[in-house]
């Protein structure tokens, strides 16, 4: 098996597994005052300090959650409610067109149920938010903007966003900015405190930690209305009993991911570039999506379109050969749709439907890339035969014996 879907989730680091396993048999609610509770609280607070150090934040800025999705919802809805409470005119929510659905759907829910006016910020052909458009949209009526949300790096095509520039534009008018940074810390430098962001989302399972642990980094003094009510944990903005073993494993994974990032990023970029180069040799009309500049994209993501193919067919044919990747497309109510990210970049729908995302991570090897490349040409040829009349099929160089 060649696992090339690390952007969806990456295997846990052995060190994180060991930490989590060591704590699973222990008892103690971190909110309890007795000895077992204090022991759990100590683990949580030491883990919070470790997370803060890895992410360039203060421990008091780390609000622990159950996932990146929860953190995104808490940021978008919580900032909106808090800002409107201060000034009812603040109804506008500005989000980039390529955000994760955890942000886009949260904003849409606010529009449907809470009177928000959602405005989608356009992106260019590589998927990077248009700063001139951001400036124009904000300046049209800055007093009415509740928040801006622009992700640190895109989860489908890997394009890194100009977060600092967006923050600067918003800061002129005192507007808080949230960034979904779920894909970023293991691959590019991320520091919250110096970013100027009001809030930033991270999650454990993209860093080599467990599924079911995440965090919202929230600036000190930033008002935020809670989604969950109960015990008042996590600065009274995220009630709920904390999963101490998962939090500790999250902190271990984040610390190691950041420590190992320089070497890993260089290794993944080399593997990615090799995959892209050889994929185009095998399928000459394949097209690469995202920023062509290495400095402008995540090192572990290669996103390609294969004309004349259906992405789901490619995915299943590769899966049958033991190669696991992603189409990058979203499904709503069981109806497949082309990726909203690719459409926002101006890519035609038929090309968007025939796209695959190969994402690499800490367990990726040259053998994984070799297996994917070896399978690609015959899989594309078969997918085209299924989708296109013989007279209209582009030529594909199928290796002998494939």
CB 30 within 8 A of CB 64: no
Cα atoms found within 13 Å of the Cα of residue 195, Cβ hemisphere only? 29
Helix axes 14-23, 244-259, angle to 10 degrees: 160
* Beta-strand runs (E) in 232-381: 287-289, 301-305, 323-324, 330-332, 335-337, 355-359
The two three-digit tokens of residue 263, written as one number = 């070497």
Per-residue buried b or exposed e for 280-291, using 16+ beta carbons within 10 Å of the residue's own CB: eebbeebebbbb
Distance, C-alpha 343 to centroid of its chain: 18
Q: Is 331 a catalytic residue?
A: yes
Q: What are phi and psi of 309, to 5 degrees?
A: -120, 155
**Nearest Cα to Cα of residue 42 among 259, 208, 247:** 247
- 3 state SS for 113-154: HCCCEEEEECECCCCCECHHHHHHHHHHCHHHEEEEECCCEC
CA pair distance 49, 59, nearest whole angstrom = 5
- Beta-strand pair 145-149/92-96: parallel
Burial of 1 per CB tally in 10 Å (0-12, 13-18, 19+): exposed
Say which of 136, 331, 397, 402 is annotated catalytic. 331
Pair 357, 272: CB distance under 8 Å: no
Catalytic positions:
331
């Amino acid at each position: 098996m060649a696992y090339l879907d690390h952007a969806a989730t990456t295997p846990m680091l052995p060190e994180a597994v060991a930490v989590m396993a060591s704590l699973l048999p222990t008892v103690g609610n971190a909110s309890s005052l007795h000895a077992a509770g204090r022991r759990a609280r100590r683990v949580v607070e030491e883990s919070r300090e470790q997370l803060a150090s890895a992410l360039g934040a203060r421990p008091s800025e780390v609000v622990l959650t159950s996932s990146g999705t929860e953190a995104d919802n808490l940021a978008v809805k919580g900032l909106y409610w808090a800002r409107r409470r201060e000034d009812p005119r603040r109804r506008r929510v500005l989000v980039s067109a390529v955000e994760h659905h955890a942000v886009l759907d949260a904003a849409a829910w606010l529009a449907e149920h809470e009177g928000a006016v959602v405005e989608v910020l356009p992106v260019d052909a590589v998927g990077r938010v248009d700063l001139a458009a951001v400036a124009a949209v904000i300046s049209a009526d800055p007093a009415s903007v509740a928040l801006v949300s622009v992700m640190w790096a895109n989860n489908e095509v890997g394009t890194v966003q100009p977060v600092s520039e967006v923050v600067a534009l918003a800061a002129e008018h005192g507007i808080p900015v949230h960034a979904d940074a779920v894909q970023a810390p293991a691959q590019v430098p991320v520091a919250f405190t110096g970013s100027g962001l009001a809030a930033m989302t991270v999650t454990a399972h993209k860093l080599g930690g467990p599924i079911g642990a995440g965090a919202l980094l929230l600036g000190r003094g930033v008002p935020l209305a809670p989604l969950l009510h109960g015990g008042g944990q996590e600065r009274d903005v995220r009630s709920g009993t904390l999963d101490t073993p998962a939090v500790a494993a999250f902190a271990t994974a984040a610390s190691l991911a950041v420590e190992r990032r320089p070497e890993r990023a260089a290794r993944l970029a080399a593997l990615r570039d090799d995959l892209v180069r050889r994929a185009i040799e095998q399928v000459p009309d394949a097209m690469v999506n995202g920023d062509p500049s290495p400095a402008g994209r995540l090192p572990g993501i290669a996103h390609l379109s294969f004309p004349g193919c259906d992405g789901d067919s490619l995915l299943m044919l590769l899966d049958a050969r033991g190669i696991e990747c992603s189409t990058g497309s979203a499904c709503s109510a069981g109806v497949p749709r082309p990726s909203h990210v690719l459409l926002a970049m101006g890519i035609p729908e038929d090309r968007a439907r025939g796209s695959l995302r190969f994402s690499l991570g800490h367990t990726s090897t040259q053998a994984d890339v070799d297996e994917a490349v070896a399978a690609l040409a015959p899989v594309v040829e078969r997918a085209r035969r299924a989708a296109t009349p013989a007279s209209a099929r582009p030529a594909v160089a199928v290796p002998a014996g494939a």
